[in-house]
Amino acid sequence: METVAAVALIGGTAYSAYSQYKAGEAAEDTAAANAALLQQTANENEIIAAENLAIANREADELLKAGSDATRIKRKEIARLLAYQRTQEGVSGFAYEGTPVWLAEESAREGEEDVAMIWSNALTASEETRARGRVAAKQGQIISGQLRSQADIQLTAGSYAASAGKIGSTSTLLQGLGNAYYRINQG
Amino acid sequence: MAKRIVEYIGEEKSSGRGREVMSPYLNAPPLAPINAGAEKFAAMGKLGAALTDIGEYAQKIQIHNEEIIGRKTIDDFNLRMVENLNDHKNKNRGTQAMRPEFIDEAKQMYDDEIQSTLGSIGKLSPRVYEAVSRSLAQIKLQGIKTTFDYQTYERHKVEKEIIDTDFLTAKGKIKGGGDAAQIIANHKASILRTSPGNTALAERHAAELSIYAAEATKNAKETEILLELHGKHNGDLEKILKEVETKEFLEKHGKEIRQDIRYEISAQLNIQEQQYNKFATQKVGAVSVKIMNGLPITIDDTAGLRSEELATIEKIRDYQTRQNRAESRAQKQQEAFDRAQKSNMISGEIEAAILSNSNEYSDRLSIYKKVPEGLSILEANRLVAMAEKIFGDPKYKDGIEIIKKAFKDGAIKPEEYKDIVDTFRAQVDAAGINANAVKIANDLMNPKKTRKIGELLDAVRERLSGLRPDSEYEASVLNQYTVDLQGGQSTKDVSSQPKMVTIDGKKYKDGDIIVRNGKKFRVTIK
């Protein structure tokens, strides 16, 4: 009976202490895994943010380029229109209402207004796109920061759990062994 | 216009590059609970706790078992040692009192047993082992103390017996006239031999014996003096006491001896007086019994009594004489009363006979003419004469007839018998029958008899009064009989006024003379 009691008391204490220690370690591992996952997600989000910013910039550049192309096309149309007017007056003898000088000027002026509008729109759209890209990139950075914070929290909690497991297991071990020693030796 | 251009641009497909779309951000990945890994170790913890519980329970069982073993060991040890001690005591019976090694043997016995016991109980936890050891040690201490007390008691008993015997022997020797100093010295030496070092007891006994020796010497001298005094005065204690109180006696024997002798003589006197009192009480008691029984007193009965007791006897004798007389008187009175009771009864029966059936009257009368038991002849004759006078006299024949009729019919018609009633009334008044009746009653000297006679006459009067509606006459008759029959059952209080009687409407006082039919009658009110 004495042996049974001693084995049971010491074994029970050891099991309890070991389980506490291992539980702390497991919690720390879990926390580390969680933190790594969070860090990775944060990294990915930062890459996405950079890509999104690049996309936005490219789109803005494209918008500017498209605007530039449009203005060029528009000017060519105006030039073709003026040339057509002059051609029609000389071939058929038909004359548009007003003076031919005034008519050409009017067409040229209207054409320039359209060009200006096209360019302005392109410019505006491009800036908006850039701005949207910056916002998106900022959002990505914020989310990444949050994830990294969570990762830190996980690491801290894991560290605490590990420490608690070690302390608890030590306490259990000391207490249990003391109790077992007292019981076995003092009865 | 601007809108149109923008839309145009928006639909532009030839920008040279395809449209790119911004990627959405990744949300936080699902995380494992931080203690998820600890759960798999919970079972291990539970196993540890369960093992600990089992260990504690096993430990409790072990402690319980050990305590049982410990208690049983202690109990067995205790019982075994009680037996061992008794054996040891019995083995040394009669000798242990004076054997110092008796205790050492007991101690050794305990030590051996403790060693043997502790060696045989097996492995125990230190706590239980120490508890058992302590208990065994306590039992040992208690046992040694008991043994020591027992030996001390036995030794004390033996020593006391030896010393007491020697003390009594010493006393006897002193009383026998031995050399007191030597006897005391020997006794002291004996004490110190028996109980070495007990000098306190030796000194105390020596002091007691010294006092005893002095007392014995003095007592012997006082006895000698008392014997001399008794011889000189022939045992007369009064005379001895007188001599003791003399100046010469004081000078010769001293104050202390005189005091003792005085007490002794006084005590003897007291005893003598007590003895006389006892003797006198018995004598007087015996004489009193004889007096009460009416037996004669002899000289021997009073021999030895003093004058006070003789005077007491005379008083008892006088008292008894008076008592005898009183009893005699009381007896006579009782006899007279009994006779009167008897006479009363007879009178009552005569009346009953008259009231119930007049035809039986003569038969009853003949019966009562015989002298009834308990009634004097004179009284019986008087009663009979009275009845005959009232109911048998020819002068009252008419009245008797009326009474008979009344008794027979239950009612009388006054108108029908008016003349007869008047005549009868006159006859009654003139004949002085009432006076005779009262006289007879007075002669009988008994209130109850008087009452009965009065009732008899009242019955007659009542019947007569009913024959005539003369209230005045009735009242006069009523008053007359009421007064005449005083001493019996008076129905009227006349104590607060002069005694008067009314006869035929006239009032008379005591001593007045009434003339009726030429005859004179003196009114007597009693």
pLDDT (tens digit per residue) in B173-220: 998 888 999 999 999 999 999 888 889 999 999 999 999 999 888 888
User: What single-letter DSSP state applies at residue B490?
Assistant: -
- The structure tokens listed for B363 are 């038969």
pLDDT of residue B520: 64
**CA atoms of B420 and B434, how far apart (whole Å):** 20
Q: Are residues B277 and B153 in the same domain?
A: no
pLDDT of residue B524: 67
Burial of B419 (0-12, 13-18, 19+ CB in 10 A): exposed
Q: Are residues B199 and B245 in the same domain?
A: no
**Nearest residue of B to residue A135, measured between CA atoms:** B22
**CA atoms of B172 and B192, how far apart (whole Å):** 20
**CA atoms of B450 and B443, how far apart (whole Å):** 9
User: What single-letter DSSP state applies at residue A158?
Assistant: H
A34 vs B31: CB contact, 8 Å cut-off? yes
pLDDT in tens, chain A (187 residues): 567 777 777 888 888 888 888 888 888 888 899 999 999 999 999 999 999 999 999 999 999 999 999 999 988 988 888 888 777 766 655 555 555 566 677 778 888 888 899 999 999 999 999 999 999 999 999 999 999 999 999 899 888 888 888 888 888 888 878 877 776 665 5
CA distance A40 to chain B (A): 10
pLDDT of residue A1: 57
Residues ≥6 apart with Cβ < 8 Å to B21: A55
Name chain A contacts of B26, Cβ cutoff 8 Å.
41, 44-45, 48, 143
Q: How far apart are the first and last CA of chain B?
A: 179
pLDDT of residue B181: 92
Residue B263 lies in a domain: yes
pLDDT of residue A130: 92
pLDDT of residue B64: 86
Please state the separation of Cα B127 from the chain's center in Å: 66
- The structure tokens listed for B48 are 């540890």
**CA atoms of B502 and A22, how far apart (whole Å):** 149
Nearest CB to A158 within list B17, B26, B34: B34
**Contact in structure between B268 and B233 (CB atoms under 8 Å):** no
**Contact in structure between B283 and B304 (CB atoms under 8 Å):** yes
Nearest CB to A1 within list B5, B61, B124: B61
**CA atoms of B432 and B453, how far apart (whole Å):** 16
Bridge partners of residue B519, in order along the sequence = B516
Q: Are residues B120 and B81 in the same domain?
A: yes
**CA atoms of A25 and B35, how far apart (whole Å):** 10
Per DSSP, helices labelled H in B245-360 are: 247-292, 299-302, 307-356
**CA atoms of B511 and B387, how far apart (whole Å):** 28
Q: Collapsing DSSP states into helix, strand and coil, what is residue B36?
A: helix
**CA atoms of A16 and A180, how far apart (whole Å):** 13
Nearest CB to B22 within list A55, A66, A67: A55
Residue B98 lies in a domain: yes
Cβ contacts below 8 Å, chain A against chain B, sum to 193
Q: Are residues B227 and B245 in the same domain?
A: no
Give A74's Cβ-side CA count (13 Å radius).
22
Radius of gyration of chain B (CA): 66
Cα–Cα distances in angstroms (integers) from residue B50 to residues A8, A23, A177, B354, in the given order: 9, 18, 15, 127
Q: Are residues B347 and B433 in the same domain?
A: yes
What parts of chain B have a pLDDT lower than 50? 1-18, 360-361, 363-364, 366-375, 399-400, 402-414, 433-457, 459-496
**CA atoms of B387 and B406, how far apart (whole Å):** 18
CA distance B194 to chain A (A): 55
Q: pTM for the complete prediction?
A: 0.36
**Nearest residue of A to residue B67, measured between CA atoms:** A187
Residues ≥6 apart with Cβ < 8 Å to A180: A6, A9, A10, A13, B55
B127 vs A187: CB contact, 8 Å cut-off? yes
Q: Collapsing DSSP states into helix, strand and coil, what is residue B496?
A: coil
Cα–Cα distances in angstroms (integers) from residue A149 to residues A27, A154, B507, in the given order: 18, 9, 156
Nearest CB to A22 within list B12, B41, B127: B41
Q: Are residues B377 and B448 in the same domain?
A: yes
Q: Are residues B358 and B472 in the same domain?
A: yes
B24: nearest Cα among A81, A58, A140: A140
- The structure tokens listed for B188 are 């002291």
Q: How many domains does chain B have?
A: 3
**CA atoms of B225 and B266, how far apart (whole Å):** 15
Give which of B13, B26, B121, B130 to mutate to test A binding, by max A Cβ within 10 Å: B26
**CA atoms of B309 and B65, how far apart (whole Å):** 94
pLDDT of residue B473: 42
**CA atoms of B448 and B15, how far apart (whole Å):** 175
Residues ≥6 apart with Cβ < 8 Å to A42: A143, A144, A145, A147, A148, A151
A187 vs B55: CB contact, 8 Å cut-off? no
B58 vs A26: CB contact, 8 Å cut-off? no
Residue B262 lies in a domain: yes
pLDDT digits (tens, 9 = 90+) for B33-82: 877 766 777 777 777 778 778 878 887 888 888 888 889 999 999 999 99
Residue B252 lies in a domain: yes
Name chain A contacts of B41, Cβ cutoff 8 Å.
18-20, 22-23, 26
A64: nearest Cα among A117, A133, A119: A119
Name chain A contacts of B40, Cβ cutoff 8 Å.
26
Q: Are residues B371 and B423 in the same domain?
A: yes
CA distance B66 to chain A (A): 9
Q: Where is A26: in which H helix or E strand?
A: helix A2-92
Nearest CB to B51 within list A15, A67, A132: A15
Q: Taking every pair of C-alpha atoms in chain B, what is the biggest distance, in angstroms?
A: 205
Q: What is the dihedral of CA A70, A76, A82, A88, to 10 degrees?
A: -120
User: What single-letter DSSP state applies at residue B373?
Assistant: T
Strands B519-522 and B500-503: unpaired
pLDDT of residue B475: 44
User: What single-letter DSSP state applies at residue B435?
Assistant: H
- The structure tokens listed for B313 are 């006897």
A23 vs B37: CB contact, 8 Å cut-off? yes
Name chain B contacts of A17, Cβ cutoff 8 Å.
48
User: Cβ of A162 under 8 Å from any chain B Cβ?
Assistant: no
Nearest CB to B26 within list A11, A45, A185: A45
Residue B28 gets the label, from left (phi > 0), alpha (psi -120 to 50) or beta, of beta
Domain that holds residue B471: 337-495
- The structure tokens listed for B20 are 């790119």
Residue B110 lies in a domain: yes
Residue B504 lies in a domain: no
Residues ≥6 apart with Cβ < 8 Å to B421: B402, B414, B464, B467, B468
B53 vs A12: CB contact, 8 Å cut-off? yes
Residue B36 lies in a domain: no
Name chain B contacts of A185, Cβ cutoff 8 Å.
125-126
**Nearest residue of A to residue B123, measured between CA atoms:** A2
Q: Are residues B106 and B214 in the same domain?
A: yes
Q: How many CB atoms lie within 10 A of CB B200?
A: 9
Q: Are residues B198 and B166 in the same domain?
A: yes
**CA atoms of B485 and B447, how far apart (whole Å):** 10
Q: Are residues B217 and B271 in the same domain?
A: no
Q: Are residues B202 and B273 in the same domain?
A: no
Nearest CB to A5 within list B36, B62, B123: B62
Q: What is the dihedral of CA B12, B17, B18, B20, to 10 degrees?
A: -110
Q: Collapsing DSSP states into helix, strand and coil, what is residue B371?
A: coil
pLDDT of residue B206: 94
Burial of A125 (0-12, 13-18, 19+ CB in 10 A): buried
User: Cβ of A35 under 8 Å from any chain B Cβ?
Assistant: no
Give long-range contacts, CB 8 A cutoff, 24+ apart: B207-210: B208/B167, B209/B167, B209/B170, B209/B171, B209/B174, B209/B180, B209/B183, B209/B184, B210/B180, B210/B184
**Contact in structure between B279 and B304 (CB atoms under 8 Å):** yes
**Contact in structure between A2 and B62 (CB atoms under 8 Å):** yes
CA distance B115 to chain A (A): 22
Q: Which of residues 72-111 of A touch B (CB under 8 A)?
A: none
